[in-house]
A = this chain, B = another copy of it.
Amino acid sequence: MSLLVVGSVAFDTVKTPYGEAEEVLGGSATYFAVAASFFTPVRMVAVVGRDFGEGPLRLLRERGIDVSGLEVADGRTFRWSGVYSDDLNDRTTLATHLNVFESFKPKIRKEDVGSRFLFLGNIDPDLQREVLRRIKPGFAACDTMNFWIEGKSDSLKQLLAKVDGLVINDSEARLLAGELNTTAAARRLLGLGLRFVVIKRGEYGAALFSGAHYFAVPAFPVERPVDPTGAGDSFAGGFMGYLAREGRTSGPALRQAMVYGTVLASFCVEDFSLKRMASVTPKAIEARARALRDALDVDGPARRG
């Protein structure tokens, strides 16, 4: 089923203990859309500058992503640069130039209205609410960040009462809920009207809280994570892409979606930008999903294949 994502597109300059990359394609909507494209048709609503160029567009189109909602505005594309700590668990932002993203107002066209699945990437919650109101999806999830939690908490809470799920980093979940403990935070967030909360824990994997149920997936054990940029967005893309493909959002479907989100994030971190993830095969995705299910199998190790 159709999946629409609203978020950022950026050029990133990144330094990690494993190397560096300059002005490479990034942004939450980009990572999300590429990850989701392995499962279902994806439309991106985002803004880029006049400098965006054909190369990045080609990459997105080759993944079958509908980029007709990609607005080209006067000015430069969003730039971010940062450097990661030795264990990749912390990062320091060196520069953020929002450029055309600063005045981004998602343009929802007639053909976008009624998209069955919607992911509201990390933008102003006022805009997220407006997009939700316009699209009227069957199923919606969102992300957010410290900046909006601190600056627009009321608007954000109104949004959370209207979407199905929240996919969020653990530190941001605690900040948003005003709790020191992640479990307590997740349960408090469910109380705002959400059906489920997914807590992203970086190299420690992700946890799903849904009603009284709890499910956790470890990160896929990658030995050489090169760059964690975009891993959380790739997780969300794999997660939502799987749900949209299946057209189901029941408890068991959410759990399988957690596995696929984790798999896409594991490919994301194996190289800079989308270098690794954009070129994986469905077969490689299935192989990691199987390995991850084995890693969760308390009666295992299974004697498969």
Contacts and interface: CB of A to CB of B under 8 A. Distances in A.
Contact of A251 (B186, B207, B300): B300
Of A207, A210, A259, which is in contact with the most chain B CB atoms at under 10 Å from its CB?
A207
A259 B221 contact: no
A206 to B, nearest CB: 10
Protomer copies = 2
Contacts of A296: 215-216, 296-298
A203 B182 contact: yes
Contact of A207 (B213, B214, B218): B218
Interface in A56-111: 86-88
Contact of A222 (B180, B183, B218, B255): B183
B299 A252 contact: yes
A300 B74 CA distance: 50
Interface residues on A, range: 35 or more
Contacts of A216: 205, 218, 295-296
A293 interface: yes
Contacts of A299: 252, 255
Of A207, A214, A251, which is in contact with the most chain B CB atoms at under 10 Å from its CB?
A214
A239 to B, nearest CB: 14
Of A17, A87, A298, A300, which is in contact with the most chain B CB atoms at under 10 Å from its CB?
A298
A223 interface: yes
Contact of A300 (B213, B225, B259, B300): B213
Interface of A: 17, 86-88, 174, 180-184, 186-187, 201, 203-205, 207, 209-210, 213-216, 218, 221-225, 251-252, 255-256, 259, 291, 293-301
Given A201-B204, A214-B291, A216-B218, 8 more contacts: A88-B180, A181-B222, A183-B223, A184-B224, A205-B216, A214-B294, A215-B298, A216-B295
